[in-house]
């Protein structure tokens, strides 16, 4: 079995399980922490009489923190090492998670959000770099499909924990911090396996956003559609005539599609010479699915079927986009590009809810579908332009 030398990012032919487990543990903690923390903090702020505007502003600090921290992550890892930086991020994320319980001053929750989501962003960037750098080229899609599936399950587990633990007392905060701290164990055990960053990235950070535009644009669309769709679909669903429980079940169906299609799409991408074709196909399906939503408002079952496949295509943009990124770059450039990838995702999470919400205010309930179709349409245009005028796989 061919394995990379300790501490390098040399290509391998077989899955290197210590590295995979360390990266998956980190991303599991990220998913569970976000899935538990977002509804928990929102409910507590609501109970304290904080206005919806201020709750939204405080929640928006998550995306802003990611955008602020992502450009510096690679530089920090270059100085301190990938595994060491991840371990410090675990520590700061866990401490700040407990801080939300002990610090009751609402204004202090803004810097706490910055620390918490900044640390989470570091884990996001470096876990993806680690897994991309050590994944076998011929099985990169499969490995990242596993990674994406676990992330999706983490996002689903968080709200489930919240429904069990509730929002009273220290228990939900302690559980969240404990889950994050548990991720330190496999990271520490595999610390000598983490890829080195001996060299600094060759380009300025923002250049990496546009260096592999097919991947960064894909994750921007994913962030915009996922965050905007999850936030505003319950409103769309109830206005379309569904009950709250029916709308929630439709979101669950979309989440199931998100989980079950990650690995198959990753494996399919491994068999394709040019992953850009698969990304383009998924956005076309996403575009068609979005345009179908206004036509399916009277039929719950048809909408559920569409959302099952639609959710899979949306999540596939992340997995296949990340796989495409890993196939194009290596070393410090890959680490910097991973940071640009997360930065683009964060921009999408900020832009998506704003654009979709504004569209619903201007165009009525159908604005939900038209705005999402607009995001997919932009990517389809980009894909056509890139495939026609730039045949290189970037």
Per-10-residue mean pLDDT for the chain, 394 residues long?
42 68 82 81 83 76 87 88 93 94 91 92 89 81 85 78 84 92 89 76 76 88 83 79 80 83 88 85 91 86 89 86 82 83 88 84 89 92 79 59
Those residues whose C-beta lies under 8 Å from the C-beta of residue 363, and which sit 6 or more positions away, are: 370
Cβ atoms within 10 Å of 167's Cβ, excluding its own = 16
Nearest residue to 145 (alpha-carbon basis) of 286, 331, 278, 250: 278
pTM beyond cutoff 0.75: yes
Those residues whose C-beta lies under 8 Å from the C-beta of residue 23, and which sit 6 or more positions away, are: 127, 128, 130, 131, 147
- pLDDT score recorded for residue 14: 67
How far is it, in rounded angstroms, from Cα 115 to Cα 256?
Answer: 31
Q: Are 383 and 214 in contact (CB under 8 A)?
A: yes
- pLDDT score recorded for residue 393: 57
- pLDDT score recorded for residue 8: 42
How far is it, in rounded angstroms, from Cα 42 to Cα 59?
Answer: 8
Kindly tell me the burial class for residue 5, based on how many C-beta atoms sit within 10 Å of its own C-beta (0-12, 13-18, 19 or more). Answer: exposed
φ/ψ region of 49 (left if φ > 0, alpha if ψ in -120 to 50, else beta) reads left
- pLDDT score recorded for residue 3: 43
CA R_g for the chain: 20
- pLDDT score recorded for residue 58: 80
């Amino acid at each position: 079995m061919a394995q990379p030398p300790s501490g390098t990012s040399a290509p391998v032919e077989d899955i290197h399980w210590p590295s995979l487990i360390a990266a998956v543990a980190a991303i599991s903690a990220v998913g569970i922490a976000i899935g538990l923390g977002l509804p928990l903090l929102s409910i507590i702020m609501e109970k304290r009489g904080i206005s919806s505007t201020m709750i939204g502003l405080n929640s928006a600090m998550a995306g802003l923190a990611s955008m602020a921290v992502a450009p510096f992550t690679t530089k920090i890892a270059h100085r301190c090492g990938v595994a060491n930086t991840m371990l410090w991020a675990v520590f700061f994320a866990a401490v700040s998670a407990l801080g939300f319980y002990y610090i009751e001053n609402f204004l202090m929750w803004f810097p706490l959000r910055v620390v918490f989501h900044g640390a989470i962003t570091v884990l996001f960037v470096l876990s993806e770099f680690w897994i991309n750098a050590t994944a076998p080229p011929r099985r990169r899609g499969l490995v990242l499909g596993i990674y994406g599936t676990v992330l999706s399950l983490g996002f689903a587990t968080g709200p489930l924990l919240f429904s069990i633990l509730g929002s009273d007392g220290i228990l939900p905060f302690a559980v969240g911090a404990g889950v994050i701290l548990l991720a330190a164990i496999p990271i520490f055990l595999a610390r000598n396996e983490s890829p080195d960053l001996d060299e600094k990235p060759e380009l300025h950070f923002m250049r990496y956003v546009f260096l592999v535009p097919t991947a960064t644009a894909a994750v921007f669309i994913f962030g915009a559609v996922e965050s905007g769709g999850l936030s505003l679909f319950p409103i769309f669903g109830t206005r379309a005539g569904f009950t709250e429980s029916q709308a929630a079940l439709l979101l669950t169906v979309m989440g199931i599609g998100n989980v079950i299609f990650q690995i198959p799409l990753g494996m399919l991408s491994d068999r394709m010479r040019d992953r850009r074709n698969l990304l383009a196909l998924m956005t076309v399906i996403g575009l068609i699915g979005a345009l179908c939503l206004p036509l399916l408002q009277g039929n719950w079952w048809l909408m559920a079927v569409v959302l099952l496949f639609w959710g899979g295509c949306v999540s596939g943009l992340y997995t296949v986009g990340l796989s495409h990124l890993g196939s194009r770059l290596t070393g410090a450039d890959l680490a910097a590009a991973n940071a640009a990838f997360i930065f683009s995702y964060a921009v999408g999470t900020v832009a998506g809810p704003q654009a979709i919400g504004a569209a619903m205010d201007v165009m009525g309930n159908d604005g939900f579908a038209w705005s999402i179709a607009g995001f997919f349409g932009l990517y389809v245009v980009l894909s056509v332009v890139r495939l026609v005028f730039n045949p290189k796989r970037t």
